């Protein structure tokens, strides 16, 4: 069973890396850009056939290691 975890900074947290990418794109002449934010993407494959159990295992991984819950939020998607 395969899942994608998308980890992004919370809305009110400053994203300096995203700002740098945004400015670079603007300096390259792209004017339609309004906003850009960067995050992490993790693809996880599990040996687990029960979707509910698999999802809770991934929730557990997020809380224990992958996500800094103070400044980040996450979304789990089955793929």
Residues in touch with a second copy (CB under 8 A): 4, 6-8, 18, 21, 24-25, 28, 30, 32-48, 54, 57, 60-61, 64-66
Question: Which tokens hold the place of 59?
Answer: 């929730």
Nearer to a second copy, 16 or 32 (CB): 32
> Residue 2 in contact with residue 45, Cβ under 8 Å?
yes
Is the Cβ of residue 41 or residue 70 nearer to a second copy in the bound state? 41
Nearest to 37 by CA among 57, 15, 54: 15
Q: Which is nearer to a second copy, 12 or 47 (CB)?
A: 47
């Amino acid at each position: 069973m395969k899942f994608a975890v998308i980890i992004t900074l919370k809305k009110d947290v400053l994203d300096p890396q995203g700002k740098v990418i945004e400015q670079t794109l603007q300096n390259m002449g792209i004017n339609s850009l309004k906003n850009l934010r960067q995050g992490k993407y993790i693809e996880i494959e599990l040996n687990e056939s029960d979707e509910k159990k698999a999802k809770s295992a991934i929730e557990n991984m997020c809380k224990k290691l992958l996500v800094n819950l103070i400044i980040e939020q996450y979304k789990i998607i089955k793929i």
